[in-house]
Amino acid sequence: MRNIAIFLIAGVLALTTWQCDTPVKGTVINGEIKNAANIQVFLDHVVIGKASNVLAKAEVDGSGKFKFEFPEGIPPGIYQMRLGAKRVNLAMDGSEKLVEIKGDLASIQNYDFSITGSSNSQSLVNIMNGLFQRKVSAEDIATYIDTVSNPELGAFIAYRSLGASGQFIDTQKKALAKLDPTSESAQEYAKFISAVERQYQSQMANQLIQVGQPAPDITLPNPNGKDYSLSDLKGSIVLLDFWASWCGPCRRENPNVVRVYDKYKSEGFTVFSVSLDGIDSRTRSRFGNEKAAQEYLENQKQRWVDAIKQDNLKWEYHVSDLAKWESAPAAQYGVTSIPRTFLIGRDGKIAAVNLRGAEQIERELKKLL
């Protein structure tokens, strides 16, 4: 009797072990989202440039939990998860078995949530969270595209982060080149890139300053009142950089400019920075007297000086007329948004415009060395 009991226990243990080792069939996505009780959640399949297709729908229970089940597995691709008005993207490679998502509805749209069981989705969440926190630059996106193992994920990140900004068209084309050219994703993405490129070329054709033209001279004071002229730098390769201390994209771009400057300053490269800090006439009119306006102007000037130090902008040429958007050089160069750059060759002529990211600046700079 004792032997039979031992045999039965051993059999149960063996059965239990066999059941635990059996691989899960298909794909299950479990979610637990705070503050999302009793709403519907949708999972859509995403193709760049096309409307999303609803793949599945589930109900979120009273504790914020939901489940998607795909008995045949989930196809590789990019997906959008919708919870009410909130939307986030996921990326699957087709090998996922059990994916678990945990977060809060209040912050999920900023990719502030955890995900396990899908390395591609985790990679996407990390890069998107970095974008929302403004910690990821255009150069980081280019590096990501070069290193990510899933080309469709690389293309989607390029599309989401760089969008219709024509100055990053080369990065988008690099992402496109990694896709299967016969796939729907590649064909739709190619259409998007082509449209962006046409629009950008049209914009560039209407710019006041064109490649090949002599760079108009600029003479303005630095923070200490010393005048510097752009023409004094003829014979050097110069990056003319319009920026401002209050401009977030400018401040995020500054480390890229510093990196290129450090690498090529010994080869005759320098930077001529024109700040759009200061006060314009409309802002000045809001003050009741000239003293208050002057105090505001001095504060803006100090912000400019502080930003130069904080961002380690170590080159000598920092100038401004402290007129903000009424800056005379900005009008002369047709600058309506910043950061805006013009690369000037040793002959004093414009060689490239609107360069962003160390990789882009360096590529054009090398042509002039």
Phi-psi region of 35 (alpha: psi -120 to 50; beta: other; left: phi over 0): left
Q: Does domain 219-366 have CATH number 3.40.50.10900?
A: no
- The correct CATH number of 25-118 out of 1.10.10.10, 3.30.70.3460, 3.90.320.10, 2.60.40.180 is 2.60.40.180
State residue 165's pLDDT score.
Answer: 82
Specify the pTM. 0.63
State residue 51's pLDDT score.
Answer: 83
One pLDDT digit (tens) per residue for the chain, 369 residues: 444 343 333 443 333 333 334 445 799 999 999 999 999 999 999 998 888 889 999 999 999 999 999 999 999 999 999 999 999 999 999 999 999 999 999 999 999 999 999 999 999 999 999 988 878 888 889 899 999 999 999 999 999 998 888 888 989 999 999 999 999 999 999 999 999 998 888 777 777 788 999 999 999 999 999 999 999 999 999 999 999 999 999 999 999 999 999 999 999 999 999 999 999 988 888 887 888 989 999 999 999 999 999 999 999 999 999 999 999 999 999 998 999 999 999 999 999 999 988 888 999 999 998
State residue 3's pLDDT score.
Answer: 44
State residue 24's pLDDT score.
Answer: 53
State residue 13's pLDDT score.
Answer: 38
State residue 207's pLDDT score.
Answer: 74
